[in-house]
Amino acid sequence: MTTRRWIMPSLLTLVALLAIASIVIGRIVLGWNVWLDQDAIGRTILLELRLPRALLGVAIGAALGLAGAALQGYLRNPLADPGTLGVSSVAAFGAVLSIFFGIADLHPWILPLSGVAGAMAGMAALFLLAGISASALTLVLSGVILSAIAVAGIALVLSLSPSPWAAGEIVRWLLGALADRSLDDLVISAPLIAIGAALILSSRQALDALTLGEVGARSLGIDLGRAQWQLAGGVGLVVGASVAVSGIIGFVGLVVPHLLRPLVGAKPSALLVPSAVGGAALVLAGDIVVRILPGGSEVQLGVVMSLIGAPFFFALLYSMRRQVT
């Protein structure tokens, strides 16, 4: 019980520290006198590049952590991650299409909005495929189908791309990064993430009841159909909005709930908010790592997340296995 009391304040402190570090660290070294010297360039870098990047790191990390915890709770399966429902792949496909047709350059809003449109289309397809009163299994299988179609679509677009440069442009975006994002991206994604998070958080009662199984939950008076679509809608919104801005950043939604479960207990609803804060911390930390890694070009955040995430996850599983046996 004592651990639970300090976990939230320390996570929030961690996020605050990492956010400050994220604003301070970068390729161009900014002095403390950015404000005093009327240094227009320094101020531009700070306000237009570093600040949006840090804020997006918080928003997207929180979105991925929250979605991961919600899905693991709902499906009662620790393998679920934000990509499970396929919405992230369809969102990526939407964004990739806008690059392929060359409209992404017309206005900075077109690329993220295409991603959001893709996420919405993905959610609509999920409803159609799974039906309103779907079981969790049908929902997951529909997600797998959606994901397969979207990935095939992305591969098709890549192979049809008119030049190696254009293909590179698409791949670069797909790998997932927060580099050079702007406040526009935050303005587009943050409201959708907020609505989605509200939907997810309002279904916490159902999540807890579901630990007793579907029958048990129903006997507690939970409207499972409604709870399910509230969750799916919420996850679709938060994940779609993040993918639309940053591309696909893997592993965050999978790892963070596992990290925090031993600290906050197994109750799914108690895991939601800590997972969001933990996700924010992890994405911020990863985004700082890509900037301080040696070498010229920045490594993509999505790549680093998987590179660090996979061995870490393995170590975690290994220690858990030892505890059980």
Partner 1 sequence: MRRHAQLLCLCVALFVASSPPAHAEEPARIVSLNQCLDAILVELVPTERIAAISHYSRDPLRSPIAALAQRLPITYESAEEIVALRPDLVLASRHSAIPTRNALRRVGIHYELFDVPFSVKDSLAQIRRIAALVGNAAAGEVLVSKIQRAIDAARLPPGAPRLTAAVYETGGLTAGANTVTDDLMQIVGLDNLAARYDIQTHQPMQLELLLAAPPDLLLVGEVPAADGTQAARVVQHRALRKVHSKRWDFPARFMYCSGPTIVEEVAALAAARDAIYAVSRAQAAR
Which stretches of the chain bind partner 1, using CB under 8 A?
26-28, 41, 44-45, 48-50, 99, 104-108, 111, 162-166, 168-169, 172-173, 177, 179-185, 296-298
| CB of 164 or CB of 221, closer to partner 1 | 164
Output the smallest distance, CB 181 to partner 1, in A. Answer: 5
Output the smallest distance, CB 157 to partner 1, in A. Answer: 14
C-alpha 319/C-alpha 325 separation (Å) is: 10
For the packed helices 136-160 and 87-100, what is the interaxial angle rounded to 10 degrees? 20
Output the smallest distance, CB 100 to partner 1, in A. Answer: 11
Output the smallest distance, CB 193 to partner 1, in A. Answer: 18
Output the smallest distance, CB 177 to partner 1, in A. Answer: 8
DSSP string, 105-128: TT-TTHHHHHHHHHHHHHHHHHHH
Tell me the CA end-to-end span of the chain in Å, nearest whole number. Answer: 25
Q: Residue with structure tokens 């779609």? A: 240
C-alpha 110/C-alpha 304 separation (Å) is: 27
Query: Which tokens sit at 164?
Result: 């190696």
Q: Residue with structure tokens 């925090």? A: 260
| CB of 78 or CB of 108, closer to partner 1 | 108
| CB of 181 or CB of 258, closer to partner 1 | 181
C-alpha 256/C-alpha 35 separation (Å) is: 37
Query: Which tokens sit at 110?
Result: 């077109």
| CB of 106 or CB of 137, closer to partner 1 | 106
Output the smallest distance, CB 154 to partner 1, in A. Answer: 16
| CB of 86 or CB of 112, closer to partner 1 | 112
C-alpha 183/C-alpha 221 separation (Å) is: 43
Output the smallest distance, CB 106 to partner 1, in A. Answer: 7
For the packed helices 301-324 and 252-264, what is the interaxial angle rounded to 10 degrees? 40
Query: Which tokens sit at 64?
Result: 């991925």
Q: Answer for the pair 220, 212: CB distance below 8 angstroms, yes or no.
A: yes
Of 299, 279, 296, give the one whose Cα is nearest residue 288: 299
| CB of 104 or CB of 231, closer to partner 1 | 104
Phi, psi of 49 (to 5 degrees): -115, -55
Per-residue CA distances from 174 to 44, 97, 257 (Å): 27, 12, 24
| CB of 102 or CB of 131, closer to partner 1 | 102
Query: Which tokens sit at 100?
Result: 């392929």
| CB of 148 or CB of 156, closer to partner 1 | 156
Output the smallest distance, CB 52 to partner 1, in A. Answer: 9
